[in-house]
Amino acid sequence: MNIFETFESEVRSYSRGWPVIFDRAKGSYLYEEDGKPYLDFFAGAGALNYGHNNPILKEALLEYISRDGVTHALDMGTVAKREFLESFSERILKPRNLDYKVQFPGPTGANAVEAALKLARKITGKEAIVNFTNAFHGMTLGALSVTGNSMKRGGAGIPLVHSTPMPYDNYFDGTTPDFLFFERLLEDSGSGLNEPGAVIVETVQGEGGINAARIEWLQGLAELCQKHGMLLIVDDVQMGNGRTGPFFSFEHAGITPDIVTVSKSIGGYGLPMALTLFKSEHDVWGPGEHNGTFRGNSPAFVTAAKALETYWADDELQRSTLAKGERLAAALGTLAEENAEAGLLVKGRGLARGLQFPSGDLAAKVCASAFERGLLMETSGPSDEVVKQLPPLTLSEEELEQGIAIISEAVRSVMG
Ligand code: PMP
């Protein structure tokens, strides 16, 4: 690890928890330089829902590269973009009756969030946005202003303004009716709340601790937005692309957000790509009003289209994700029961799962023990107290069982 310690900034993080040198990757595994395999229950923080170097996507990519298909294209019209838009419209939007326009904002999740916030402000003429406790939306200033984590916010170095945090679902452990505080502030002309133009929410908070909002809470939020003329932005950067089962995580609740952000696994192969989607009536952008040099990452469009054609032509992936998610949750439930006194808590939806420990220290030890046994998992939550499982959706049942066995051994070794 010498070269990294010498030359790479102290800002690096994953190479600290996993101090080995990875070289190859295939399916659900990453391999160390010397060939040692690691079962990947991290999946590029949700960017590898179809696994590493997926052979079907790789073939499409190699074919595109070898015929000298355009690589870099800003927002020019290309065959790669046409085919992606056709697939996205046919496989995703039309079957779900979603009348969304597609914006390519630049290739990261934060780019998609910035575009969403700017658009919401332009549509409504209001600068105030409501976000939620423990939200995570990215590291750029706009995205950071609607992110909860105080360490990350501190990195901004300037005041992060024009956003107001409200309690996420179950913030008061079920003791307070949903939206009591939020609605009161909206209705009380003396509350001091700047009238919000939009609300931004994750249906399951990934970085915030795998907090899955209840379906009725999400529906209540959509109603509240409607009632008070606030746009609803769902940030599906981490929980979209089938992570919770359906393609969009909000499908569970049967709601239709005004604006949706998508990134991470949309490219399919781990290539950078992002989308900001919005109802067509909200398309108030002027030409070039929001841009970015890497909006047209064509190899990502090729693998994205191939992933949609391969995995979203039927509901097989969705069904297997839900079934595997239930199996994983049941196994975590057994571990929670075994440690009832410590109060371990099982969290999540679909194949976004978490096991909450009483402290970040214990969760870190469990991840370290799993790493020694050949499994990659990270922690999340405000105190890093949640051990988070985000395996590729394409993992086999044997790989799932293998992962469960390692997690169980790791928890038992740490909890005694
Ligand atoms: N939104 C959510 C919900 C995320 O989980 C993330 C990344 N973890 C982002 C936005 C930011 O994405 P990126 O790191 O690609 O900028």
CB-ligand 1 contact for 137 (6 Å cutoff): yes
Give the residue whose CA is nearest to atom 7 of ligand 1: 138
Ligand 1 centroid vs 47 CA: distance in angstroms? 10
Ligand 1 centroid vs 117 CA: distance in angstroms? 14
Tell me: pLDDT of 1 over 80.
no
Domains and CATH numbers, the chain: 2-54+317-415 (3.90.1150.10), 59-311 (3.40.640.10)
Ligand 1 centroid vs 98 CA: distance in angstroms? 23
CB-ligand 1 contact for 298 (6 Å cutoff): no
| pLDDT (tens digit per residue) in 226-272 | 999 999 999 999 999 999 999 999 999 999 999 999 999 999 999 99
Q: Kindly give the residue spans of alpha helices, DSSP state H, lying in 135-193.
A: 141-145, 150-154, 180-187
Q: What is the DSSP string of 122-148?
A: HHH---EEEEETT----SSHHHHHT--
Ligand 1 centroid vs 199 CA: distance in angstroms? 17
- Report the predicted TM-score, pTM, of the whole model to 2 decimal places: 0.98
CB-ligand 1 contact for 113 (6 Å cutoff): yes
Ligand 1 centroid vs 175 CA: distance in angstroms? 30
Query: Looking at ligand 1, which atom is closest to the CA of residue 272?
Result: 15
**Exposed, middle or buried: residue 34 (CB in 10 Å: 0-12, 13-18, 19+)?**
exposed
Ligand 1 centroid vs 391 CA: distance in angstroms? 17
Q: Say what the pLDDT of residue 416 is.
A: 87
CB-ligand 1 contact for 258 (6 Å cutoff): no
Q: Say what the pLDDT of residue 274 is.
A: 98
Tell me: pLDDT of 361 over 80.
yes
Separation between Cα atoms, residue 166 and residue 276, nearest integer Å:
24
Average pLDDT for the chain: 97
Query: Looking at ligand 1, which atom is closest to the CA of residue 202?
Result: 3
Query: Looking at ligand 1, which atom is closest to the CA of residue 107?
Result: 15
Q: What is the DSSP string of 289-353?
A: SS--TTTTBHHHHHHHHHHHHHHSSSSHHHHHHHHHHHHHHHHHHHHHHHTGGGT-EEEEETTEE
Ligand 1 centroid vs 238 CA: distance in angstroms? 6
| pLDDT (tens digit per residue) in 261-315 | 999 999 999 999 999 999 999 999 999 999 999 999 999 999 999 999 999 999 9
Give the residue whose CA is nearest to atom 10 of ligand 1: 137
Query: Looking at ligand 1, which atom is closest to the CA of residue 111?
Result: 16
Q: Say what the pLDDT of residue 183 is.
A: 97
Query: Pick from 385, 13, 3: which is nearest to 210 by CA?
Result: 385
| pLDDT (tens digit per residue) in 363-409 | 999 999 999 999 999 999 999 999 999 999 999 999 999 999 999 99
Other C-beta atoms lying within 10 Å of the C-beta of residue 2: 6
| pLDDT (tens digit per residue) in 95-107 | 999 999 999 999 9
